Structure 1
Amino acid sequence: MEEKTPSESIVEMTEMILPNDTNVLGNLLGGRMMHWIDIAGAMAATRHSHKTVATACVDSLDFRRPIRVGELITLKAKLTWVGRTSMEVKVKVFVENLKTGELTLTNKAYLTFVALDEEGKPTPVPPLLPETDEEKKDYEEGEARRNARLNKKRARL
């Protein structure tokens, strides 16, 4: 399989926060945010693998500030690490000040997806070829997160 760069997997998704997306305080529901993060991540993993993907793990999700009704958010998803059948995706969420255009990072998540064949079995994906220093760092950190997950899983057995 031919290697692909992280930039080939980039997905950008924009949403306006509506009253139906919020809690009684007018802040975006955490579950709605997690839903959008999962969708953006799955699209990036599908773009890389050209396969159906399933969410295998949400490694971390940070909530840094509330997002309020009427605000505009942009989710940016990009592959950070690839194994034989699994792919790690970093999704960053930015809120946009509609008066100034300033973007503020509000959430960040790392998710792992597994590529599936027509029978629902894990299937190989193209290797990832990090190009920039940041992508190389993301790749190393992604591999470390994978190893930590595997060690934790082994410890439970």
Structure 2
Amino acid sequence: MNSIFKTVASSNITISELMLPSHTNFSGKIHGGYILSLLDQIAFACASKFSGNYCVTASVDTVDFLRPIEVGELVTMKASVNYVGNSSMIIGIRVESENIQTGKINHCNSSYFTMVSKHKDGTNAKVPGLLLSDLEEVRRFCNCIKQISLKKEKDRHEENFNYSSIETLDSLAKYNVLVQIS
């Protein structure tokens, strides 16, 4: 058991950036790849701040693009540690866009990144325990436990699932797919 615990609040990071025409995709909206790059940066900053070590991205567990972001809007990202393991942390990130002329704020994106704390030699570094201070932090932690469990179940299913069985191949007929295996 950990003897050092840090609060969720000690991990909080907020960044804001004005969205420029150079950040757009072919439809004139802010490119999702640009937002992903910013998400990775804030996840790194949040995890490194909490752990006190260099951190690497182990997985991008969820990225839900809820609404497009327009040129000229101010994008604010808020990140915090939602879960800790031995050397890993799940970082929750909320993305909001603000029309700076009207003040209207939209929730645009929610994301969860798994980050791993590293020693200078590249080996995994232990992270502090997480001190949960309110029921919202408990809810987020419990949701992470559920997500981890679902991920493990999915991995077990894929290891054991027989993709080549007649039953599996026949069951694909209800989808928009044609199977022609030589």
Q: Same fold (TM over 0.5)?
A: yes
- 1:17 maps to what in 2? 19
* Separation in 2, partners of 1:5, 1:155: 36
Within the candidate set 113, 124, 139, 1:122 is matched to 124
The residue correspondences of 1:71-82 to structure 2 (distance < 5 A) are 71-82=73-84
What secondary structure does 1:113 align onto? strand
Within the candidate set 29, 34, 37, 1:35 is matched to 37
| Bigger relative contact order (CA 8 A; separation at least 6) | 1
The residue correspondences of 1:98-137 to structure 2 (distance < 5 A) are 98-137=100-139
What secondary structure does 1:4 align onto? strand
1:156 deviates by 4.1
Q: Which moved more, 1:76-85 or 1:96-105?
A: 96-105
1:142 deviates by 0.8
CA shift digits 1:19-46 (9 cap, x unpaired) = 1110122201111111101111111111
What secondary structure does 2:29 align onto? coil
Q: Which amino acid aligns with 1:4?
A: K
Q: Does the aligned pair in 1 maintain the 2:72–2:99 contact within 8 Å?
A: no
What secondary structure does 2:14 align onto? strand
* Separation in 2, partners of 1:96, 1:6: 25
Question: Larger radius of gyration, structure 1 or 2?
Answer: 2
Q: Which amino acid aligns with 2:146?
A: A
* Separation in 2, partners of 1:15, 1:121: 34
CA shift digits 1:100-144 (9 cap, x unpaired) = 333221000011001011111111100111111110000011111
What secondary structure does 1:23 align onto? coil
Q: Which amino acid aligns with 2:143?
A: E
CA shift digits 1:66-92 (9 cap, x unpaired) = 101111100000110000110000000
The number of equivalent residue pairs is 157
Q: Does the aligned pair in 1 maintain the 2:95–2:110 contact within 8 Å?
A: yes
Unaligned runs of 5+ in 2: 160-182
* Separation in 2, partners of 1:95, 1:150: 34
Q: Which moved more, 1:79-88 or 1:115-124?
A: 115-124
